[in-house]
Structure 1
Amino acid sequence: MASYSILIKGGEVLRGRKFERLDVGIKDDKIQEVGDLSGAKAELLIDASGKYVAPGFIDLTSHSDTHWTLFAFPGQESLLAQGITTILGGNCGASLAPLVKAEDIGGISKWADVREININWQSTAEFLRELEKHSLGVNFAALVGHGTLRRGVLGHESRKASREEISKLTFLLEKSLEEGAFGLSTSLAAAHARNTTAEELLSLFREVGRAGGLTKHHLRDEGKNILPAIVELISLGRQSQAKIHFSHFKLLGRQAWELFPETLALIESAREEELHLTLDVFPYARTGSLLYLLLPPWVLEGGLDKILQSLREPSRRQAILEYLKSLTLHYDQMTIASSLRDKNILGKTIEAAAQNSGLEPEELILKLLEVNELKVSIFNEVISLPHLEKLIAKEYAGLASDGVGYNLKEKPAFDLPHPRSFGAFPRALEIFCRQKEILPWPELLYKMSTFPAELLGLKDRGRVEKGAYADLVVLDPSAIESPPDYSGVMPKTKGIEWVLVNGGVAVKEGFLSPELSGRVLRRK
């Protein structure tokens, strides 16, 4: 008679893009058998009758590393509670390795004050080994951030790289890919990367293409200039033969919404020409973004230090104010989500905070940026939910949180967490499957697990098969929900009943377990 560590009985098990009523037998960290396991014994029996059993969700767009919560909150409880078992870090051009100099971390870490933290790694290999010394709640895989590479080679200068510098950038990337990184991420909208040339990107993309990795992108523009931003990456993908993936894909603002049909036509035309092009979305109308990205392009071109200089120089400051006043911005819809130093302003709109301070909204924006050394983010309701509904139904689209892992008992002092950090995956199931029936349950669960696993080349995760690692979710489809809350209240996700990470029980009957079974993953 077979005996298992854990036996999941009678659930509707995701097999590819359909359900089959099967039992799942787990021994130690792996799935030992899937089928009719009547009569088998186990140390732990999970009754999954009337429930769905799926591979653990894989979050392709996570910022737990650069927001430092991977170290501050290694349990990553807010992710486990929504069924996430693996996260991909190093997104949007920022990764914690490789570091040419340890002090480079100050320009990379998004919101944490890392000045008093001892950084005892430089290479990607050293970073991953350091991470392995910590107990993690989730599995962690890393990309190499393009911005991190540029800071290492160009310092804080935002300019075109010379051919010699491009060679150095490419060498650092090649070494990191050999050490286990899964690919390259870019954010060409960021101040430090705005002057990147096609020559530089092509050299890096070709290196990733040769290694069989993934290139992943925060578009240069997600607003009214989104079309050339898409064309730029499609062109580089064609020339380099690298896999292209758009992170947190969206069109920001009503002017951009009008371009939605054209964006789909561009993407689908490229795919018809056999370009490997995919994307991910998150299920919310409000996005989190950097406040300094509201500033004029001519200010952003010089890098972060130059931006601060511009804010302090009277004539340039006045020109920035006039630029902001020329825009049609809805300050009543912009909520201050994080700041480096002032927690009392969190949760207020720009309009309300300006009224309280006796300043014009534009003056307040510049003051916030200066006092907080540019480290201010906002929530802005500028995304079309109908567009997200159309996108998630596309075969080339997956789901991601674009969020951060938190401890559910400890509220961050200088950060108003976006609800996606607590419920992006259950929220998507609630809206797209149960409420609106845009997708069948198996299809969306596939997009949350197998789709990202295949994209990353994780052959032994993202599937419920014999020999795969036991990263699993048991959920109740009738109870699944995660209502969005932007007030700072940590939302309670419902319907995620059991979560296993490498065979360890992370969530038991809806409650978090103290067991931390996550691992550091390396590309093979």
Structure 2
Amino acid sequence: MFDVLIKNGIIIDGKQTKMFRGDVGIKGDRIDAIGDLSSKSATKVIDAEGQYVCPGFVDITNHSDTHWTIFTTPTQESFLRQGITTILGGSCGSSLAPLVHASDIGAIQKWTDISQVNINWLTVKEFLDELEKHPLGVNFGTLVGHGTLRRNIMGDRNMPADKEELEQMRFLLGEALHQGAYGLSFGLTFSHGRPAGDDELMALAGLVAQAKALCTIHLRDEGKSLLPAITEVLRIVRETGVSLEISHFKALGREAWGDLPKALHLIREGREEGLPIHADLFPYVRTGSLLYAMLPSWARDGGRAAILKRMDSPQERRQIIDELERATLHFERITIASAHREKAIIGKSLATIAENLGVSPGEGMLYILKTNELGVTIFGETIQDADIASILQEPYTFVSTDGFGLRAESAISGDLTHPRSFGTTARLLGEFVRDRSVVDWETAVHKMTLGPAAKMNLLDRGVIAPKAFADIVVLNPETIQDIATFTQPYQYPTGITWVLVNGTVAVEQGTYTGAKNGKILRK
């Protein structure tokens, strides 16, 4: 007798094999049997007639940790309701551990208000142990942020690490990998990642390779210097042999759109050499980012205090404004999503805010950053729809949210959030698979299940197979659709009918059950 029996469904197993009709029997937290189980009984029977039965989706680029929602919204309902059952935090160079001093948690203040944040861990082991005391709706693992390592050892100093500092970073990283971290993430566009040179990148990536762990990378530049950034990634992989994932891969801005085919060609050439390189993307033409990341690179150096100080210097302020207004920025297409202090600007474009203030767009942008102490996020329409399709069709790409877990009630904050946190998977399956046939169902499911799970070396997840963990999504292929928009983002998709996490029903007939049966994952 099974605990749960999913019968009459069409199984897409995550392995890119052709979908097939069958039943899935579950005992405890594992899949026990697959096939014709019509003669078997179960404590709970789910009739999946006319629906697809898939592995739970795996989000390989996720920010629920650094946005603190693993604590404030432990249900992670916006992920469960779109079928995501496993998330990997510590992305884009920033993680919640390891820390040398508790005050180093201040690095996340660019994303969230840390005035009420208290921590009782320093190491990755202590962090994961603490999480096990606070049940989550989804499974959670973490990378180590390179920017976090740098901040621990070097503070906000904007220079290459010396030999002693690099050895300290290697020690912290090695300890974290031993304690269960899945690898290392680089955020080379951010102030704590940008100063790192080849020696530092190779030394750290080489250590990850020795541990047979994963490196992920937020490229040094996704815009006009996209091709040199891809070349840098290929050099890291070629010299160290590390398994590497490019996070939220895209060509950012009109001046970079023409470079995407060349970037894809470079990656293909690397893979033909045998380089273990993959990439992920989110299927939206608008990005979500930090407003201060739009500043000239020199103006972002040295961390938060140094950035704010430059805004008080008349000469440097003028230089920043001049460079912003000479750049090919479309201020009318950049919308404020959240602001730590000045909530009235949320939902307005930079151009509108500047006009209301009676200043130029560059001056308006600095006013917003200064008033909100850099704590401003934005939406920008900077990705070409055709590029999304091109990246999706590459065999080495996966789909991620690049978002963080919320719930519909989070709208009370007054902030906007990128709809990817609510709708990524349904948008992929509804628009890009069913409606536009950019990729087929089996390929799309693989890109959200066994593909990223295998990249993480995540055993027994991301696949429907005997003895695999029973993370399962049942969806209606005719009705699955994202509903969340940029103006009304706190909306769950349609068509996700059942979700199981480790054998426990978390979503039943489209409604969250309240279950928090996620596990803390250690490599």
Scaled by the length of structure 2, what TM-score is found?
A: 0.98
Q: Separation in 1 of the partners of 2:403 and 2:173?
A: 25
Amino acid at match of 1:203: A
Question: Is 1:66–1:110's contact at 8 Å kept on the other side of the alignment?
Answer: no
Which letter does structure 2 place at the counterpart of 1:416? L
- Kindly indicate whether the alpha-carbon contact (under 8 Å) linking 1:471 and 1:503 is maintained by their aligned counterparts in 2: yes
**8 A Cα contact 1:67 1:110, kept in partner:** no
Measure, in 1, the Cα distance between the counterparts of 2:118 and 2:303. Answer: 25
The structure-2 alpha-carbon separation of the partners of 1:414 and 1:91, relative to structure 1 and needing over 3 Å to count, comes to farther
Query: Whole-Å Cα distance in 2 between the matches of residues 243 and 326 of structure 1?
Result: 39
The answer to whether the Cα contact below 8 Å between 1:29 and 1:504 also exists between their aligned partners in 2 is yes
Shift of 1:503: 0.8
Shift of 1:368: 1.2
Give the C-alpha shift of residue 345 in structure 1: 1.1
Partner in structure 2 of residue 24 of structure 1: 24
Question: Which moves more between the two structures, 476-485 or 464-473?
Answer: 476-485
Structure 1 residue matching 2:199: 3-state secondary structure: helix
User: Is contact 1:339-1:414 (8 Å) kept?
Assistant: no
Q: CA deviation at 1:115?
A: 3.1
Structure 1 unaligned spans of 5+: none
1:400 aligns with 2:400: yes
Residue pairs, 1:104-503, within 5 angstroms: 104-411=104-411, 413=413, 415-503=415-503
User: Secondary structure at the residue paired with 2:413?
Assistant: coil
State how far apart, in whole Å, the 1-side matches of 2:43 and 2:408 are: 29
In structure 2, the residue matched to 1:10 is 8
Runs of 5+ unmatched residues, structure 2: none
Q: Deviations over 1:205-256 (max 9, x none)?
A: 0010000011001000000101111111110111111011100000011110
Shift of 1:415: 3.1
What CA distance in whole angstroms lies between the structure 2 residues aligned with 1:405 and 1:312?
A: 36
Letter in 2 for 1:518: G
Q: Is the 1:66–1:94 contact (alpha carbons within 8 Å) kept by the matching residues of 2?
A: yes
Secondary structure at 2:410 match in 1: coil
- Deviation per CA, 1:143-186: give whole Å up to 9, x if none: 00000000100012121110010000011000000000000001
**Does the residue aligned with 1:505 lie in a helix, a strand or coil?**
strand
* Paired residue secondary structure (2:19): strand
CA offsets 1:339-358 (integer angstroms, 9 cap, x no match):
11122211111111222232
Q: Aligned Cα RMSD in Å?
A: 1.2
**Structure 1 CA distance, aligned partners of 2:308 and 2:193?**
17
Q: Deviations over 1:9-62 (max 9, x none)?
A: 011112321212111011111111111112211111100111100000001111
Kept in 2: contact 1:341–1:414 (CA 8 A)? no
**Partner residue in 2 for 1:515:** 515
- Report the Cα distance in structure 2 between the residues aligned to 1:73 and 1:507, rounded to whole angstroms: 16
What is the distance in 2 between the residues matched to 1:67 and 1:410? Answer: 13
Residues 34 and 466 of structure 1 are in contact (CA less than 8 Å); yes or no, is this contact kept in structure 2?
yes
For residues 433 and 488 of structure 1, what CA distance do their matches in structure 2 show?
A: 24
Q: Quick one: distance in 1 between partners of 2:352 and 2:92?
A: 30
CA distance, structure 2, for counterparts of residue 72 and residue 324 of structure 1: 36
Q: Which moved more, 1:301-310 or 1:98-107?
A: 301-310
Q: CA deviation at 1:489?
A: 4.2
The one-letter code sitting in structure 2 at the alignment partner of 1:172 is L
Q: Secondary structure at the match of 1:193?
A: coil
Give the letter aligned to residue 459 of structure 1: L
Q: Distance in 1 between matches of 2:314 and 2:288?
A: 30
Asked whether the equivalents of residues 100 and 122 of structure 1 are also in contact (C-alpha less than 8 Å), the reply is: yes
Structure 1 residue 117, shift from structure 2 partner: 2.1
Percent of residue pairs bearing the same amino acid type: 46
Q: Which amino acid is 1:300 matched to?
A: R
CA positional deviation for 1:108: 2.9
**Letter matched to residue 38 of structure 2:** S
What is the aligned partner in structure 2 of residue 88 from structure 1?
88
Per-residue CA deviation, residues 348-396 of structure 1 (Å, 9 max, x unaligned), is: 1111122223232211110111122212111000101111101111110
For 2:166 and 2:105, how far apart are their aligned partners in 1? 21
Task: Kindly state the Cα deviation for residue 107 of structure 1 after the two structures are TM-superposed.
Answer: 1.4
In the TM superposition, what whole-angstrom CA distance separates every residue of 1:278-334 from its partner, at most 9, and x where no partner exists? 000111000011111221222123332211110111111111111112122211110
Q: Is the 8 A contact 1:108 1:148 kept in 2?
A: no
**Alpha carbons 1:289, 1:379 under 8 Å: kept:** yes
For the residues of structure 1 that align with 2:110 and 2:271, how far apart are their CA atoms? Answer: 33
